[in-house]
């Protein structure tokens, strides 16, 4: 592999990594705050992608779709939390996994019933349909825009978590929900807010991914697999870890596409195993 190809692959990997960050940050946030294992995270991503697809069809503009996707996922997350998941917080993780997995299957089958099992195309917004030359490197304009959105989201999330009262409560809640509760804060409302935010972030990832890969009913389970790898690599519950984990996994996957193409996917898990050997709690996790 030449030096130029290596640079191409690293740059491309950073782009993939930002998309993976967006995909996984909601999952890690919910677990970090609530110690809740949400296997329905991929279903929120799926629902948002289809919402974006439908709205873009109806309005003829993917921009409306990009707004509708996160909104739909946030509403679905709130409804699921209020009607079902709040009753499972006291249950063991195994029960939460089973219940959220069932929820994911219900959403997936509902999508198949409502549409069909075939993949659908979601057009890239016209003004982002071309390519961008970064020196000798060619990159799709839309992919670059997604990376930009992910970077902005990362910055806004950091500000929200580190510089606002809501963020302070979330961080405190992740340390000790009992203590936050004793301070007179309604933890259930905080949980609901976190779930809506986590769902909205999964939805944003789904809506942004729709023009990149189209939509199909099985995209949720694929996304969930990657999201878990990123969360584990980064350290469960760590916002910074999700960012670092996403970037690491993206770069490994992209570089290995040239070094050992048939093993590129496998090396995602290889990287995860290596990180866990060196740092069992993940890159930014606390033991």
Partner 1 sequence: MMMRRRTLFGMGAGLLAAPSLARAQAAPLEVAGVYSLSGTFANVGDLLNKGTQMAVEHYATAAGQKINYTLLDDQGDPGRAVRLVQEAMGQHGIRHIVGCTNSAIALAVAKEVHARGGLYIHMAGADEATGSECNRSSFRWPGASFTAINATVRPFIQRNPTAKRWYTITGQYVFGDSLLSNLKLVLADTGHQLLGNSYHSLSEREYSGYITAAIAAQPDVLAICNFGNQTVDVLRQAVSFGMKRNVKLVVPWSTGLDQYQAWGADICDGVYFGVNYWHGVDAPGNRVVSEVVMQKTHAATNYLQACGWAVMQMLVEGAKKAGTTEIPALIGAMEGLVYEGPTGTETIRAADHQVIKDYYLMLGKARAAMHDANDFAEVISATKAFQRPELTGCHMA
Q: Residues in the site for partner 1, rule: CB under 8 A? A: 2, 4-5, 8-9, 12-13, 15-16, 112, 116-121, 123-124, 129-131, 138-140, 142-143, 212-214, 216-218, 222, 253-258, 261-266
Looking at the Cβ atoms of 100 and 257, the one nearer to partner 1 is: 257
**3-state secondary structure at position 104:** helix
Q: How far is the CB of 285 from partner 1 (least distance, A)?
A: 25
H-only helix segments in 123-263: 141-163, 165-175, 177-182, 187-213, 219-234, 239-259
Q: How far is CA 283 from CA 17, 230, 236, 264, in A?
A: 15, 10, 9, 21
**3-state secondary structure at position 2:** coil
Measure the CA–CA gap between 101 and 13, rounded to whole angstroms: 30
SS3 assignment for 265-279: HHHHHHHHHHHHHHC
Looking at the Cβ atoms of 77 and 147, the one nearer to partner 1 is: 147
Residues in the chain: 287
Q: How far is the CB of 144 from partner 1 (least distance, A)?
A: 11
Q: How far is the CB of 247 from partner 1 (least distance, A)?
A: 14
Measure the CA–CA gap between 176 and 182, rounded to whole angstroms: 10
Q: How far is the CB of 50 from partner 1 (least distance, A)?
A: 14
Looking at the Cβ atoms of 128 and 185, the one nearer to partner 1 is: 128
- Give every CB contact of residue 278 below 8 A, 6+ residues apart in sequence: none
Give the CA radius of gyration of the chain: 19
Q: In this structure, are residues 239 and 157 in contact, taking their beta carbons and an 8 Å threshold?
A: yes
Looking at the Cβ atoms of 156 and 273, the one nearer to partner 1 is: 273
- Give every CB contact of residue 58 below 8 A, 6+ residues apart in sequence: none
């Amino acid at each position: 592999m030449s030096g130029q190809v290596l640079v191409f692959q690293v740059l491309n990997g950073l782009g993939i990594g930002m998309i993976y960050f967006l995909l996984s940050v909601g999952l890690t946030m919910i677990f970090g705050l609530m110690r809740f294992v949400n296997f329905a995270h991929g279903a929120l991503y799926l629902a948002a992608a289809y919402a974006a697809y439908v709205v873009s069809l109806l309005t003829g503009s993917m921009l409306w779709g990009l707004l509708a996707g996160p909104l739909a996922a946030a509403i679905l997350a709130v409804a699921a939390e209020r009607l079902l998941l709040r009753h499972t917080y006291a249950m063991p993780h195994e029960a939460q996994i089973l219940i959220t997995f069932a929820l994911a299957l219900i959403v997936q089958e509902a999508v198949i019933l409502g549409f069909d099992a075939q993949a659908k195309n979601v057009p890239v917004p016209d003004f982002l349909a071309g390519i961008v030359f970064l020196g000798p490197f060619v990159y799709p304009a839309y992919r670059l825009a997604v990376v930009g959105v992910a970077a902005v989201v990362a910055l806004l999330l950091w500000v929200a978590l580190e510089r606002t009262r809501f963020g302070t409560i979330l961080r405190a809640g992740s340390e000790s929900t009992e203590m936050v509760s004793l301070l007179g804060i309604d933890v259930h409302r905080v949980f609901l807010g976190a779930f809506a935010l986590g769902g909205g972030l999964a939805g944003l990832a789904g809506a942004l991914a729709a023009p990149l890969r189209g939509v199909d009913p099985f995209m949720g389970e694929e996304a969930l697999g990657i999201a878990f790898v990123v969360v584990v690599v980064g350290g469960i519950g760590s916002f910074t870890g999700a960012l670092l984990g996403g970037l690491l996994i993206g770069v490994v996957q992209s570089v290995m596409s040239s070094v050992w193409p048939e093993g590129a996917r496998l090396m995602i898990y290889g990287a995860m195993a290596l990180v866990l050997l060196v740092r069992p709690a993940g890159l930014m996790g606390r033991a």
